[in-house]
A = this chain, B = another copy of it.
Amino acid sequence: MIFTAHINIMPLKELLDPQGKAVNESLHKLSLQQIQDVRIGKHITLSIEAADKEAAYEIADQACKKMLYNMVMENYQIEIK
Protein backbone atom coordinates (compact mmCIF):
# COMPACT_ATOMS: atom_id res chain seq x y z
CA MET A 1 0.00 0.00 0.00
CA ILE A 2 1.12 3.54 -0.66
CA PHE A 3 1.01 6.00 2.23
CA THR A 4 1.80 9.69 2.14
CA ALA A 5 3.86 11.12 4.96
CA HIS A 6 3.50 14.85 5.58
CA ILE A 7 6.52 16.16 7.43
CA ASN A 8 6.94 19.64 8.89
CA ILE A 9 10.49 20.64 9.75
CA MET A 10 10.70 23.90 11.68
CA PRO A 11 13.50 25.91 13.29
CA LEU A 12 13.54 25.37 17.07
CA LYS A 13 11.50 27.95 19.02
CA GLU A 14 14.57 28.96 21.02
CA LEU A 15 16.45 30.00 17.89
CA LEU A 16 16.17 33.20 15.91
CA ASP A 17 14.67 32.64 12.45
CA PRO A 18 16.20 35.42 10.34
CA GLN A 19 14.26 34.45 7.21
CA GLY A 20 10.97 34.62 9.13
CA LYS A 21 11.95 37.96 10.68
CA ALA A 22 12.70 39.45 7.25
CA VAL A 23 9.38 38.22 5.85
CA ASN A 24 7.55 39.60 8.91
CA GLU A 25 8.99 43.08 8.33
CA SER A 26 8.12 42.95 4.63
CA LEU A 27 4.52 41.93 5.43
CA HIS A 28 4.24 44.95 7.74
CA LYS A 29 5.28 47.18 4.84
CA LEU A 30 2.45 45.60 2.81
CA SER A 31 -0.06 46.81 5.46
CA LEU A 32 -0.38 43.45 7.22
CA GLN A 33 0.55 44.73 10.69
CA GLN A 34 -1.74 42.17 12.35
CA ILE A 35 0.93 39.54 11.69
CA GLN A 36 3.16 39.48 14.73
CA ASP A 37 5.50 36.62 14.11
CA VAL A 38 6.60 34.53 11.15
CA ARG A 39 8.55 31.30 11.21
CA ILE A 40 9.60 29.50 8.08
CA GLY A 41 10.44 25.84 7.75
CA LYS A 42 10.05 23.01 5.29
CA HIS A 43 7.08 20.88 4.34
CA ILE A 44 8.06 17.56 2.79
CA THR A 45 5.76 14.85 1.45
CA LEU A 46 7.01 11.30 0.98
CA SER A 47 5.16 8.54 -0.91
CA ILE A 48 5.98 5.38 0.98
CA GLU A 49 5.31 1.76 0.06
CA ALA A 50 4.58 -0.01 3.34
CA ALA A 51 2.41 -2.74 4.85
CA ASP A 52 0.64 -0.47 7.33
CA LYS A 53 0.57 3.01 8.80
CA GLU A 54 3.05 2.18 11.58
CA ALA A 55 5.61 0.82 9.10
CA ALA A 56 5.19 3.94 6.95
CA TYR A 57 5.70 6.15 10.02
CA GLU A 58 8.87 4.25 10.90
CA ILE A 59 10.30 4.77 7.39
CA ALA A 60 9.45 8.48 7.42
CA ASP A 61 11.04 8.79 10.86
CA GLN A 62 14.22 7.14 9.60
CA ALA A 63 14.30 9.46 6.58
CA CYS A 64 14.07 12.47 8.94
CA LYS A 65 16.77 11.20 11.26
CA LYS A 66 19.15 10.07 8.52
CA MET A 67 18.81 13.04 6.25
CA LEU A 68 15.94 15.49 6.31
CA TYR A 69 16.27 17.35 9.59
CA ASN A 70 19.12 19.02 11.41
CA MET A 71 18.87 17.99 15.06
CA VAL A 72 20.82 21.00 16.29
CA MET A 73 18.53 23.60 14.78
CA GLU A 74 15.21 22.00 13.89
CA ASN A 75 12.42 19.75 15.08
CA TYR A 76 10.02 17.69 12.98
CA GLN A 77 6.50 16.31 13.01
CA ILE A 78 5.23 13.46 10.87
CA GLU A 79 1.63 12.80 9.87
CA ILE A 80 0.75 9.72 7.81
CA LYS A 81 -2.28 9.90 5.52
Whether A40 sits at the interface, judged by CB under 8 Å, is yes
Chain A contact residues, majority secondary structure: strand
- Please give the count of copies of this chain that the complex contains: 2
In the complex, what residues of B have CB within 8 A of residue A32's CB?
A: 59, 62-63, 66
A residues 16-53 in Cβ contact with B at 8 Å:
20, 23, 26-27, 30, 32, 34-50
Is the CB–CB distance between A63 and B50 below 8 Å?
A: no
Is the CB–CB distance between A36 and B30 below 8 Å?
A: no
Is the CB–CB distance between B42 and A41 below 8 Å?
A: yes
List 9 interface pairs A-B (beta carbons < 8 Å), by A numbering: A10-B43, A10-B45, A23-B44, A35-B46, A36-B47, A37-B47, A38-B46, A41-B44, A41-B45
